[in-house]
Structure 1
Amino acid sequence: MFKRLKESSLLFWSLEILIVASLIWVCTNIGFLFQPIGTFLNVVFMPIVISGFLFYMLNPLVKVLMKVHYKKFRINRTGAVAIVFVLLIGILAWGSVSLIPRLINQVSQLVSNLPSLASELQKEATKLVSNSTVLKKVDVSTYMKQFNGEISKYAQNFLSSLSTSIVTVITTITSVTIMAITIPVILFYMLKDSEKFIPAISRFLPRKQRPEIVGLIQKMGDTISSYISGQVIECLFVGTFTAIGYMLISQPYGLLLGVVAGIANIIPYLGPYIGIAPSLIVAFTQSPMQVVYVVIVVVIVQQVDGNLIYPNIIGRTLKIHPLTIIILLLAAGNIAGLLGMVLAIPFYAVVRTVVIYLFNIVELRNEEELRMQTTVYQPQPAKASKATVKNKKKS
């Protein structure tokens, strides 16, 4: 009997493996049939992801506007969403008129001046080596020649790709245009009908676990929203005040380098070092004192951010130890590179929220079971006999 069961299970699993292998082989040979589905998912996926990011960033502002009231006047959700859209369109219009042309101008200047910057960097490096007794033993010229060659190659490739890849530019423009049309529509309905999302999902959930699952979804949404909105505020603060500081010290390409510092600040703890690196290279080609000024600006901005902005906006919601963040960044960087370092902290925060919420639910259920057991098995007081009752009445 045991041998028959063993042979039947072996036959079953061998058939399963054979069916899976045949399905994989068939799908690889008819991959052209799935190509339209893949292109459709690629077209739909990016607008939904960007709209979701903007939703979690702007939803707290919508909630704040809904709390504003004057006597009987209150702002409903549609009005709050309309106000947010007007503000967002105004910011985008101001950026496209005043900010983006300056950034494009500085990027083009930086790309065209890369060879001269490399030569200036080589001169300053040779001066530093000649004045230092320790660095004289190091052959810096060969490294600088390799560095100059790599920079010139990157500059030539960049300029040639801009001039030759006309088809890529056209396809990019069309995809950006489609996304610019679809993202505001998706975002509007996300912000307007977000309160209907959880009741619509709760209909398909089992009744017993419905409150716990709904509460978990709300907790996850609050965690993601607080992290994204806080991270955007922090990056805007760092980028804006770093650019202002660079302009005050007359740092070349100050606006572009400030934007780079703000974008790099998405990565906790390591972002400031990544953001200051290009600014230090540019400052080193100017003078050693300019390097000192750049370091002073970055230290002041990062101190204000680390002591005021980050603890009050992100630190209260996440409550993650700095050592945990560093370990997560190192692990995620080795696994998935820069994208993993950006997504590691919000992913860990969501998983941590889920684990804590489930642990609290289990503890509450255990406490309820203990209460039920104590109420059921609580010893009842013994009934008095008839004789004692009669004696009490006589007395």
Structure 2
Amino acid sequence: MKPDPDQIISITTGTIIRTLMVIGAVALAYFLRDLIVVLLASVVIASAAEPFTRSLMKWRFPRLLAVVLIYVVAVFGLSAMLYFFIPPLFIELSSLANTLPGSFDSFNLFDPNLDPLSAITGGLVSSISLKEIITEIQKAIISESGGLFAATGTFFGGAASLILIIVLSFYLSVQEDGVGDFLRLVTPVSHEKYVTGLWARSREKIGQWMKGQLLLGLIIGVLVYLGLSLLGVKYALVLAVLAAVMELIPFFGPVISAVPAVLLGFSDSLILGLLVLGFYIVVQQFENHLIYPLVVRKIVGIPPIIVIIVLFIGARLAGILGMLLAVPLATIVMELASDYQKKKHIFRETDNG
């Protein structure tokens, strides 16, 4: 009985070599993962600086001077924030961690006299200790705030990695098309035009996304700080920073940032708690229907559910830095997928024709 030709598996020397090369490339990428993350971070920062560089160049600034000015302003701004903003922030954070559980000692969320459902639940809900929950949150906050200096050292993988990121991103920003030149160096000639074109489109979206995300966090942070300050909620600065940072996570981020503010409001009075809850709902609606569609969704075009998935993957693989790199990398993948779909559509039309 002759074997079916369709069932014959042909393994050539070329196939074996290509397989070994792929395995070797994956292994090399794993061992050099820290360096790859540094390189990706440098590319993202350079891409984020590109729109600002172009804006200054329109005002007759030489590219080198424009990049230097941008980096000086960025470094000065971060230094000023660390000097003037971070100390009071962590003073409030430490105070919040120490006083938050005590503020709920006299706050019984499930008081049978106030809860008409207690007769139905049979006291099951009353067994939930809100104080214990807040105590666990306190432990987490103290752990994070106590490790501030350690976190600063490990945020970018250490001081050496941080310096390397700054130097590489500066070099890529100074070069007119630094990343493009690198891609031309490592890409086969047959794919060079497509790869550089893909990067040019992705770089534009990454830069616009970074600008949009910073603007979104700034707007929400300022709104939350002003609103909570007017309502008289304690620790408005900490809660505003939390709201700004959690904007990185669609849907769940704003909800998570609202929980401690609402709890603090209810711990003071029922009226204040309802006002804080209503305020966060208004801010959320304002963001969903106006800010986010204008500054993020239309620029990048990535569905929010994809953003959530890639953020969790990035956090799992590389921590905070992985989260920051997740959406820019997803932008490149989405551009690649879009090109693939277009090619499939053209192939089908050609085949049918």
Q: Are 1:65 and 1:80, in contact at CA under 8 Å, matched by a contact in 2?
A: yes
TM-score by length of 2: 0.75
Structure-2 residue corresponding to 1:376: none
Q: Residues 306, 134 of structure 1: CA spacing in aligned structure 2 closer, same or farther, 3 A cutoff?
A: same
Deviations 1:46-84 (A, max 9, x none): 54344333223222111111112xxxxx11111111111
Q: Which has the larger radius of gyration?
A: 1
Q: Are 2:57 and 2:66, in contact at CA under 8 Å, matched by a contact in 1?
A: yes
User: Which runs of 5 or more structure 2 residues have no equivalent in the other structure?
Assistant: none
Structure-1 residue corresponding to 2:98: 112
SS of corresponding position for 1:273: helix
1:63 to 54, 60, 64: 54
Structure-1 residue corresponding to 2:81: 95
1:179 CA drift (Å): 4.1
Deviations 1:83-116 (A, max 9, x none): 1112112211221222101111011101111330
Structure-2 residue corresponding to 1:392: none
Structure-2 residue corresponding to 1:379: none
Q: Number of residues paired by the alignment?
A: 335
1:317 to 277, 292, 299: 299
Structure-1 residue corresponding to 2:168: 186
Q: Residues 339, 272 of structure 1: CA spacing in aligned structure 2 closer, same or farther, 3 A cutoff?
A: farther
Find out whether 1:53 has 2:31 as its counterpart: no
Equivalents in 2 of 1:313, 1:174: separation in Å? Answer: 27
Deviations 1:340-365 (A, max 9, x none): 99677655543332233344466678
Find out whether 1:236 has 2:227 as its counterpart: no
Tell me which amino acid in the other structure corresponds to 2:287.
D
Aligned pairs for 1:276-291 (under 5 A) are 276-291=258-273
Equivalents in 2 of 1:169, 1:208: separation in Å? Answer: 44
2:126 to 141, 149, 155: 141
Structure-2 residue corresponding to 1:82: 68
1:354 to 332, 336, 349: 336
State percent identity of aligned pairs: 21
SS of corresponding position for 2:109: helix
User: Which runs of 5 or more structure 1 residues have no equivalent in the other structure?
Assistant: 24-33, 69-73, 374-395
Tell me which amino acid in the other structure corresponds to 1:64.
S
1:264 CA drift (Å): 1.1
1:200 CA drift (Å): 4.1
CA RMSD of aligned residues (A): 4.6
Aligned pairs for 1:214-363 (under 5 A) are 214-319=196-301, 324-326=303-305, 328=306, 336=313, 348-360=330-342
Equivalents in 2 of 1:161, 1:352: separation in Å? Answer: 34
Q: Residues 220, 268 of structure 1: CA spacing in aligned structure 2 closer, same or farther, 3 A cutoff?
A: same
TM-score by length of 1: 0.68
Q: Residues 240, 47 of structure 1: CA spacing in aligned structure 2 closer, same or farther, 3 A cutoff?
A: farther
Structure-2 residue corresponding to 1:386: none
Structure-2 residue corresponding to 1:125: 109
Equivalents in 2 of 1:162, 1:238: separation in Å? Answer: 23
Equivalents in 1 of 2:115, 2:205: separation in Å? Answer: 52
Deviations 1:349-390 (A, max 9, x none): 4333223334446667899999xx9xxxxxxxxxxxxxxxxx
1:231 CA drift (Å): 1.5
Tell me which amino acid in the other structure corresponds to 1:199.
D
1:196 to 159, 172, 178: 178
Q: Residues 291, 108 of structure 1: CA spacing in aligned structure 2 closer, same or farther, 3 A cutoff?
A: same
1:9 CA drift (Å): 7.9
SS of corresponding position for 1:131: coil
Q: Are 1:107 and 1:256, in contact at CA under 8 Å, matched by a contact in 2?
A: yes
- Larger deviation, residues 209-218 vs 91-100: 209-218
Q: Are 1:57 and 1:232, in contact at CA under 8 Å, matched by a contact in 2?
A: no
Q: Are 2:250 and 2:308, in contact at CA under 8 Å, matched by a contact in 1?
A: no
Tell me which amino acid in the other structure corresponds to 1:355.
A
Q: Are 1:48 and 1:183, in contact at CA under 8 Å, matched by a contact in 2?
A: yes
Find out whether 1:211 has 2:197 as its counterpart: no
- Larger deviation, residues 180-189 vs 243-252: 180-189
Q: Are 2:63 and 2:174, in contact at CA under 8 Å, matched by a contact in 1?
A: yes
SS of corresponding position for 1:125: coil
